[in-house]
Amino acid sequence: MLIDGLLIGGLIIVVGIGFSLCFGVMHIVDFAVGEWVMLGAYTGFILVRYFGHDPMIYLPIVFLIFCALGWAIYPLIYRAVSGKRHNPVLMGLVFTFGLSILAKGGALSVWGYHIQSITTWLSGKSLALGPLTIPALRFSGFLFGILITLLLMLFLYKTRLGITIRATAQDREMANLLGTDVRKVGALVYSLYAGVTGMSGILIGALFSIHAAMGVKYCTMAFFVVVLAGMGYVPGVIIAGLILGLLQSFVGVYIGGRYNLLALFMVMYGVLLITPKGILRRGI
């Protein structure tokens, strides 16, 4: 049960990490987060169908494809959230909500309603540790989540570009006055976010199933994790993801699976009421 919880947490981290970065730096609540997962899963599925090989091989390719997509879409988002508009956060929300509907509808038109699945060499394999059975694919998802978070933290804290991104997140106007091209920083962050989230689609597609409407639950999950971690606080995503995974696992076993969402919402409301900056009090 503990292992289950940690492994579910690993998946939540994978989806939440990019979302948190995107919110923290650009203050964009991206409603299309689940659709990036869905499109990533479909891209992996198509690459496997046409070129064969294990889907895991395509992780870097999907990352690059989605980075490019994010980079291409960002000017539109920038246009929606900047300029003379009164409420940029709301504009961003509406714009990405539209993107999400477009992506869902587009996927349905292009790939149809059939439920697809991808299989990796890790699918169905498990590691036996005494009486414990650890699903290999979930475990690799967990490691992937931790690794991506650590890499992102290294990038944000140890590189010049990362420091520029953090400075922009802290005070956008000041960073702009000091010569930072905030538009370019935004584009970089959005493409990073799209790349990481799209890449997670391959893992999720291999674990579950792929269909046009699969994104909704990951959008909800990303919101939970960002509220718990503290909005925009990237390192908090690991702890928040693990807490949410453990919560789901324990509620599922001891109280009943039907109370899972209730428990998650109660925790989210509790955090928003008691400590709106997240459990570590480091969010915005």
Partner 1 sequence: MKKRMLQKMAVFGLITLMVGVMNLHSAQAQEKRDFFKVGVVTSLSGELVFGGTVTKRGYDMWADTVNQQGGIEIAGKKYKVTLVYADDQSTPATAAVAGERLITQEKVDFILGPYASGPTLALAPITEKYKMPHITGSAESPLIWKRKFKYTFGTIPSVNLTAQGIIQTLAQDVSPKPKTIGILGIDDPFSKFTAEAFKAASEKLGLKVLKYEIVPEGSDYTPAITSIKAVNPDIFAMGNHEKAAIEMMKIAKELRFNPKAFVQHYGMTTPDFRKGLGKDCEYVFGNAVWTPNMKHQSTILFKTTKEYADAFVAKFKTDPDYTEAGSTAAGIAFQEALRMIKATPPLTDAQKDALIGALEKLNIMTFYGQIKFATEGDSYHCNAGLQPVALQYQGGKTVEVGPGKLRTVAPKYPTPSWDKR
The answer to whether the beta carbons of residues 237 and 193 sit under 8 Å apart is: no
110 binds partner 1 (CB under 8 A): no
Our CB check for partner 1 shows the closer of 4 and 30 to be: 4
Least distance (Å) between residue 112 CB and partner 1: 8
Our CB check for partner 1 shows the closer of 72 and 261 to be: 261
Q: Cα separation of 210 and 157, whole Å?
A: 35
In the chain, beta strands by DSSP E: 126-129, 132-135
- Among positions 158-217, residues that touch partner 1 (CB under 8 A) are 207-209, 211-213, 216-217
Least distance (Å) between residue 194 CB and partner 1: 23
User: Pairing state of beta strands 126-129 and 132-135?
Assistant: antiparallel
For residue 199, give both structure tokens.
Answer: 């890449």
Nearest to 200 by CA among 23, 19, 3, 36: 36
Using CB under 8 A, which of 44, 186, 198, 252 touches partner 1?
A: 252
Residue 122: φ, ψ to 5°: -90, -15
Using CB under 8 A, which of 54, 94, 123, 166 touches partner 1?
A: 123
Our CB check for partner 1 shows the closer of 26 and 225 to be: 225
Helix 260-274 and helix 215-229, axial crossing angle in degrees, nearest 10: 30
Binding segment (CB under 8 A) for partner 1, from list 55-63, 119-127, 172-180, 272-280: 119-127
Using CB under 8 A, which of 87, 133, 159, 170 touches partner 1?
A: 133
The answer to whether the beta carbons of residues 280 and 229 sit under 8 Å apart is: yes
Binding segment (CB under 8 A) for partner 1, from list 13-21, 47-55, 64-72, 134-142: 134-142
Return all residues near 141 (Cβ < 8 A) that are at least 6 apart.
7, 10, 11, 14, 203, 204, 207
113 binds partner 1 (CB under 8 A): yes
Nearest to 13 by CA among 279, 195, 240: 240
Binding segment (CB under 8 A) for partner 1, from list 4-12, 90-98, 158-166, 185-193: 4-12
Residues at the interface with partner 1 (CB under 8 A): 1, 4-5, 7-8, 11, 105, 108, 113-117, 119, 123-124, 126, 133, 135-138, 207-209, 211-213, 216-217, 248-253, 256-258, 260-261
